[in-house]
Amino acid sequence: MPAQNFVKSFQACLVGEGLISYEDFVEKKDLENVNEHTLGKRISIDDLEKIHLLKNVSEQTLDFKLGWFSRMKNVNLLYLGRWSASSEDHIEVEDTAFLEGLENMKYLKFLSLQRVWNIISLPESISQLKNLKILDLRACLHLERLPEEIGLIKSLTHLDMSECHLLSYMPKTLSSLVKLKVLKGFAVGIKIWKSSRELGDLRKLENLIELSIHTVLEKFPDKDHVKALEELKELKKLKITWRGYALRAENGHHSTSNGSKPTVKLPSKVEKLDLEHFPMSKIPSWWGHLNLKKLYIRGGKFSDLGQYQDWNVKEKYTWKVETLHLKYLSDIELDWKQLQELFPDLVYLDQVNCPKLTFVPCDANGL
């Protein structure tokens, strides 16, 4: 892997033919005919210390030598994964041994391994990244566990583990990351933790404003789960994805269904609620009287937004939601007039594959 002169911008790119400076990358894009002299002169690998930002633009396979990777000790931002959120392509890694070199990157603030495959676990040396604020592990398909030492990264504010479907262990030390504002991909009821205790361990995360959870628990959330969520006072965005046999949950058998009248409910500051493969047909009481501005429901058995309530009573339940996304809900049945009555503040509606949602003035895309 060639090293370039990074004195000017302190930035480098991976472009499918090794490591080049940002200046050479721009020059290469601007010129049709690029020869060896255009790409710059190869120099000592000691110049790797000059890199402050490394971005993977088009490298399909990561094949770092540990010695070279360790030399980038002044890097601040490391985009090894797909930096474009819209990209579906993945990146292969030949040997994960180079990740041990992370311990030398004392100034690293951002690390992305998004869509990098063949990483089964992160090295314990990741605990040395004292200045790391953002760790992006989204769609690391083969990631199975996080080290307990992750709790030593006290500066971490964003941790994204979403779409890591094999991740089967949530370290209890996550509760030590008291500066966390965003936590995505938190697993509940997977192998190691079978009770509601894991959510309770997050109560120390007083700064958490966004949380996404995936679960295979048939009766999630139960009363204890909701009580744990209720303690996250600053939470504004919540996403829950049910997987596997959770879809077999029958309406009315859930411990927090409308008939049970529990005293617990979600935090009052929650403005966005995103439910995927929701196993219940009715609004559960743990929603409480949320001040939701955005509601997303995708897939599952949900069918009752309140259209079956007695409209002759004086106080009818209506929503404060302004943005509503309804997708792949074959059982939800109501018309445009009912929807307007239930959502008087509605500004934006996106509905896809809801065949019983009728007379809605949407275009061909459901907008």
Which pLDDT belongs to residue 366?
53
> How far is residue 339's CA from residue 341's CA, in Å, rounded to a whole number?
5
Tell how far CA 328 is from the center of its chain. 21
For residue 114, CA distances in Å to 61, 88, 173, 350 come to 13, 10, 22, 28
Which pLDDT belongs to residue 154?
96
SS3 209: coil
The phi-psi region of residue 235 (left if phi > 0; otherwise alpha if psi is between -120 and 50; otherwise beta) is beta
Could you list the pLDDT tens digit for every one of the 367 residues in the chain?
434 445 556 777 777 655 544 444 444 444 344 444 433 444 457 778 888 998 888 788 888 777 888 888 999 999 998 766 555 678 998 889 989 999 999 999 999 999 999 999 999 999 999 999 999 999 999 999 899 999 999 999 999 999 998 887 788 899 999 999 999 999 887 654 444 347 888 989 999 999 999 988 878 888 888 989 999 999 999 999 998 654 444 443 444 444 444 456 888 899 999 999 988 888 887 876 678 999 999 998 888 888 776 656 666 778 999 999 999 999 999 999 989 989 999 999 999 999 998 888 866 555 5
Ordered by start, the domain boundaries in the chain are 181-367
Which pLDDT belongs to residue 109?
98
Which pLDDT belongs to residue 9?
60
- Please name the residue that has the structure tokens 């007695």: 310
Q: Are 105 and 72 in contact (CB under 8 A)?
A: yes
Give bridge partners of residue 54 from the DSSP assignment: 12, 78
Give bridge partners of residue 276 from the DSSP assignment: 241, 298
What type of residue sits at position 94?
A: E
Q: What is the CATH topology of the domain spanning 181-367? A: 3.80.10
Estimate the share of the chain in helix, then strand, then coil, as percent rounded to the nearest 5.
20, 20, 55
Give bridge partners of residue 199 from the DSSP assignment: none
Q: Which helix (H) or strand (E) covers residue 11, if one does?
A: strand 11-14
Which of 308, 367, 313, 314 has its CA nearest to residue 338?
308
Which pLDDT belongs to residue 78?
93
